[in-house]
Structure 1
């Protein structure tokens, strides 16, 4: 363990040096960064995702969780995926290429990539449109850029259209005023994995203001060497890898990831009532796909997923008077494979080169009217036009590098028109001593490949005595099939082929939620939910390939509990989910092992608990963050290969963090030094996989981070 000893020695020296400079660096201590939001602050926090208008989070007609910048700093979340994994209702499956989340008992399955959740960056969707996947690890955005993460669980298609089936996650970035007051921020991290190699991360976030112009910029890059992680012994085909059959091996020869993210935003206050914003986003996902569902862990090498994705967006906001406001936007999005992308086919003499790309444009406009003190009207429309270069494969000889085409390049054009409206009305009931807020919403989408989709929502929110808030919510949503699932061609056995007959799957959800401030220090939220999915998409098998097919209906019911306690130096949060999913008989299933009434990949319950204590005299913070995931049914594909039903074991993942802000290299500015032990108990848990293998986690690892404002 020489690396571990070196890290601990470095931390000890740094902390001793830090404490000796404690008095000298008092001026550099950023009091705002130490601030823990009170319960009242959290309930009064204004968010926009739930209604597309600014509203207190406690009164939004949706089930909402907000992860603030203070939460991110307190528990040192490394990326959006890690923050989301500690949010109630969400359970992660990580294949070491991309993070995939299921919500409230429902998981999209093979190569999901969060298709059923709409991820946005300041209101702009960030999916890789060819597959509808969302890349939400370190390749998304530097965490120092984030002001808050607004999470809406439940159907939101009435506002956001396709793919807001199970919820919306909207990342709101910090404004230029924050960076003007606190300074720009540089973050550096070194990591070491007990079971594998080392890694490093670096990010820069900043902004400023000059006259009527303001800007924010962020960049992040990382590298991690996971070489040495072994195939879990419970994998259905483990014996083939242990025996070395057909070049299989228990660990990858090379397993690395090199994500990159860039984000910029320029605001122009053209007039007192007019604001114009230009924003740009670029991300690169580049990782060895060692534990792929196709030809994994071969002595010839690992597949590699290498994609870039991004957008440029122009927003125009005009306030005509105190009543009317218009908002318009235009977006250009683009994504493609890079030269590093390739697919292993289990052949020693050749590999496959994959090429796919998309280009898309969005236009939208909204009219918002404050009709009276009690009534708000929102009317909007949007249009999307996408061109897809479908996956094209060529076979490349390893020795000569000569390539030959395996299929024909194809292009598809798809477009969608969306029209939506929302009415909000507030009224009081003196005899109940309560204030009521009614929200009604409707949206119609017309897509080029399917019939029109209608989405609705209705919410009744009441403010009760004692600060309690009760919500009654119903709504519907839909997920549009991705171009990949509609039109894909496969060039090797076991891969996915498209199904042009695939229809959108639809969700209907009912929720009752009670927010209860038990005291000025503690808040409790409980939610009952039921979600029915119609035309559930499941993978079916031909003799040689998989294809997505509308099959049957599912019903998920459950309860969510969230609690938060804030008192002096203490900050504690906890949440729990219990759910029960039942999938109706699939008429296309011919084998007993295909029938999974409880579904797959999602546990019956999950728990999260985090505690943090700030020791003011020494400016030290100690945080202990935990997530527990109960047993999960293995993937249907793996159950078929194992020829038996089996489950993935439960696990506890704990992170211990020690940080101090009494360390700065720049006079008058804040610095921070942080040490973390991730997977503290070294549980080395397993994630469910596909194609006969399950996926190892990273195991215990050590992070040393330094942050400096300047």
Structure 2
């Protein structure tokens, strides 16, 4: 697989220096410091800022106006080159997809720490904090997209929702993120269903020889991360590491009382926020080596331990909340080789081996259900998967502006999942559900790109995926892209995608424990993969510093997999008999300059069953402003509005705002930089304690100090 490395101007290019302004930088920055901030935060901010201003050259050393304005890629706008839409490097405007690019510069300036934070700012995506993780919705569908790191899937076939999205994935090693909204299965295979997210790592030749960062934040959060790079005539080496610790992080509990009267079962109060008394830690290591600009070797090791809150028996009249813990080590190694065979034929090869493990453990009634009765017991869910993948691809540059892409792929998975119930004393006893699956997937794809004229591009392709446990599926794509006039693009797209069932979908399960045996396990042989079809129209305008993007789509899904728990408490999965239909619209507008405002709107609606409990909001509004008086200072503010929605536990969740502030300071010709971020400015997490809980993170504060050698 060819690596996406569009050449862009380095952020470390020489700068022409202006005369500094007369207003002291410290006065300008401290003038806006909120009085309501706690004293420790104000003291830490003042100390770090003083250190920064003392050790660094003037903040107002600037480059020319022309160079400065060219750097203002506001909220991921700006024309650049992309790779993931066609597996060929091309202009973003001519790419046959609704694609958004987030660069390392965006991540640094806007203070993003997790993948879910990034996606929450993009129209069409909606994130929901749960008791154990973050659900991410894209165009009405939850966790239904493929996440790749340098072409390697970050979820195993047995559980496609297991990709990292919080602190378990460090963004410090990422050079760019290419996000496709809409089906991408023709090039990237099954499970690139409602979209695809491709994380592309940094190269040693594009970063400093050594960087180090110190992070301090709310809830006892602190961390260190860094990178090292070494470039020789034959090799490009890059290594990155990240370690973070969080203590006493609050967790939102959804739609269940935790205080009750045992005599009559009545609710006497509620406490929807529980503070963890456990330490969470996250470790992420990544290494990449590129030789002779042809062979690339890379590897990643990730491990975390994360406490959470959960109700093991939410169906029972007595609902208890207990601390649990989960951990997920992830290891992969891969090799990529790119060779030009002739002047018009290129060959790309990729092979990878990945191991995924996850484990969750929830104690059952440690204090006993009834006073005086012994407690104990636990519930465990664990899984492990080994994946071996290979891709072989040929790119043919033919006469008459025709490009063919011919490829084949293989992925083999061995997955196991287990659920274990250990009954509390004095009953004792242990029961377990063990599920295993071996899958092999062979794929072939062909794409043809024809430039009808230099400004009109037709792309057509088809892919066949042949899994060993399901019937083969065909996923075609057809796209017409036209640059109607300079900076104005029109795109018409049609695509199909397939999504295979999770391992747990293939069985009907219950967690009953009778005489040490878990009951109710039966295979679900009639379950079929889901099939998505989508029609999309896109208008994109980029001229005179003004950007506009409008996407409209209509999607219908056949054989949609539905999960329900019946009165017998058995979880069943089945294919819905009717077709599920969605329609939506996404609008993004921004102006690039010293003061750069932006606004966005997303509408997503199910035409099959309106107001379905657990669905994402129909309306979302995004707004923001970035202020960059000099290249050394970058201030951004966001105010998003999330519309009402029906929640899974019943009832309506009212609309709520989400605010975010970020300050980034990088003095010219200085190795030091400083950033400060406030998340969830309005603290909807705590404001909702007396009503239906709002699924958002708590208000938090992060300070980061970076040093580049």
TM-score (norm 2): 0.84
Q: Which residue of 2 aligns with 1:701?
A: 700
* Alignment of structure 1 residues 89-104 onto 2, 5 Å: 89-104=124-139
Alignment of 1:434-449 (within 5 A): 435-449=455-469
Tell me how far apart the structure 2 counterparts of residues 681 and 206 of structure 1 sit (CA, whole Å). 38
Query: Does the 8 Å contact 1:99/1:136 carry over to 2?
Result: no
Q: Which residue of 1 aligns with 2:354?
A: 333
Match of 1:315 among 313, 336, 359: 336
Q: Distance in 2 between matches of 1:545 and 1:23?
A: 66
Separation in 1, partners of 2:655, 2:119:
19
The aligned counterpart of 1:259 is 282
Measured in 1, the distance between the counterparts of 2:499 and 2:556 equals: 13
3-state SS of the aligned residue for 2:160? Answer: coil
Instruction: List per-residue Cα deviations over 1:450-502 (Å, max 9, x = no partner).
Output: 11111010000011123211001001111111122214754358999863322
Distance in 2, matches of 1:202 and 1:30, equals 35
1:522-560 Cα deviation digits (max 9, x unpaired): 110111110111111111223112222111321111211
After TM superposition, the structure 1 = structure 2 runs for residues 150-299 of structure 1, keeping only pairs within 5 Å, are 150-179=178-207, 182-192=208-218, 197-229=219-251, 231=253, 235-237=255-257, 240=260, 251=274, 254=277, 256-269=279-292, 275-291=294-310, 294=313
Distance 2:226 2:432 in 1: 43
Q: 1:118 aligns with which of 122, 146, 152?
A: 146
- Residues 247 and 281 of structure 1: is their aligned pair in 2 closer, same or farther, counting only changes over 3 Å? farther
- How far is 1:207 from its partner? 2.2
Partner of 2:47: 13
Q: Aligned partners of 2:431 and 2:462: how far apart in 1? A: 45
SS in 2 for 1:6: helix
Shift in Å, 1:184? 2.6
Within a 5 Å distance, the mapping from 1:33-52 to structure 2 comes to 36-37=71-72, 44-52=79-87
Q: Distance in 1 between matches of 2:280 and 2:493?
A: 42
Which residue of 2 is the match for residue 672 of structure 1?
A: 673
Of the candidates 516, 527, 532, which is equivalent to residue 502 of structure 1?
527
2:561/2:573 contact within 8 Å kept: yes
CA distance in 2, matches of 1:188, 1:310: 25
Gaps of 5+ in 1: 108-113, 429-433, 585-595, 640-645
| Pairwise CA distance, 1:674 | 2.1
Give the direction of change, closer, same or farther, for the CA distance of 1:523–1:378 in structure 2 (3 Å limit). Answer: same
What is the DSSP-based 3-state SS (H/G/I as helix, E as strand, rest coil) of the residue aligned with 1:70? Answer: helix
Do the aligned residues in 2 keep the contact of 1:191 with 1:200 (CA within 8 Å)? Answer: yes
* Cross-structure match for 1:362: 389
Structure 1 residue 412: Cα displacement: 2.2
Matched residue SS, 2:106: helix
Shift of 1:421: 0.6
The partner residue of 1:631 within 644, 661, 665 is 644
Retained in 1: the 8 A contact 2:310–2:321?
A: no
Distance 1:304 1:492 in 2: 22
1:216-615 to structure 2, matched below 5 A, reads 216-229=238-251, 231=253, 235-237=255-257, 240=260, 251=274, 254=277, 256-269=279-292, 275-291=294-310, 294=313, 301-337=322-358, 341-346=360-365, 348-393=375-420, 395=422, 405-407=430-432, 409-428=434-453, 435-487=455-507, 489-492=509-512, 499-517=524-542, 519-542=543-566, 543-551=568-576, 552-567=578-593, 569-583=594-608, 598=612, 600-615=614-629
Could you tell me how far 1:392 is from its partner in structure 2? 4.6
| Cα 1:409–1:311 shift into 2, 3 Å | same
Describe the shift of the 1:240–1:500 C-alpha distance in structure 2 as closer, same or farther (beyond 3 A): farther
Offset at residue 583 of structure 1 (A): 2.1
| Cα displacement (A) at 1:420 | 0.7
Give matches, 1:625-664, under 5 Å.
625-635=638-648, 638-639=649-650, 646-662=651-667
Deviations 1:426-449 (A, max 9, x none): 012xxxxx8210000101111121
Per-residue CA deviations over 1:554-586 (Å, capped at 9, x if unaligned) read 11112111123211x3333332111221226xx
Measured in 2, the distance between the counterparts of 1:476 and 1:167 equals: 11
Take 1:362 and 1:425, find their aligned partners in 2: how far apart are those partners? 30
TM-superposed deviation, 1:409 = 4.4
Structure 1, residues 198-252: CA drift from partner, whole Å, max 9, x if none?
21232223322122111222222222234555646xx254664998989997535
Matched, 1:74 2:109: yes
* Per-residue deviation, residues 579-607 of structure 1 (Å, max 9, x unmatched): 221226xxxxxxxxxxx565632111112
CA contact (8 A) 1:139 1:261 kept: no
Q: What's the C-alpha RMSD, in Å, of the aligned pairs?
A: 3.6
Aligned CA distance change for structure 1 residues 358 and 673 (closer, same or farther; 3 Å): same
Paired residues in the alignment total: 652
Contact 1:565/1:572 (<8 A) preserved = yes
Alpha-carbon distance change, 227 to 598 in structure 1, aligned in 2, over 3 angstroms: closer
Q: Distance in 2 between matches of 1:172 and 1:58?
A: 20
For the structure 1 residues 244 and 623, does the alpha-carbon distance in structure 2 shift closer, same or farther, using more than 3 Å as the test? farther
Counterpart Cα distance in 2 of 1:171 and 1:629: 27
Provide closer, same or farther for how the CA distance between residues 531 and 492 of structure 1 changes in structure 2, counting only shifts above 3 A.
same
Q: CA-to-partner distance for each residue in 1:163-210, whole Å, 9 max, x for gaps? A: 11100011112221111xx34322221112xxxx32123222332212
Between the aligned partners of 2:251 and 2:614, the Cα distance in structure 1 is 25
The Cα of 1:102 is off from its aligned counterpart by: 1.0
Indicate how the Cα distance of structure 1 residues 520 and 294 shifts in structure 2: closer, same or farther if over 3 A, else same: farther
Cα pair 2:508 2:572 within 8 Å, conserved: no
Which of 12-21 and 212-221 deviates more? 12-21
Report how far residue 145 of structure 1 moved. 1.9
Query: What do residues 654-692 of structure 1 show as CA deviations (whole Å, max 9, x unaligned)?
Result: 1112232239xxxx652112222222122227999xxx9
Question: Which deviates more from structure 2 when the two are superposed, residues 467-476 or residues 491-500?
Answer: 491-500
Q: Which runs of 5+ in 2 are unaligned?
A: 1-34, 367-374, 514-518
Deviation of 1:648 after TM superposition, in Å, equals 1.7
The verdict on how the C-alpha distance between 1:13 and 1:670 changes in structure 2, with shifts beyond 3 A counting, is same
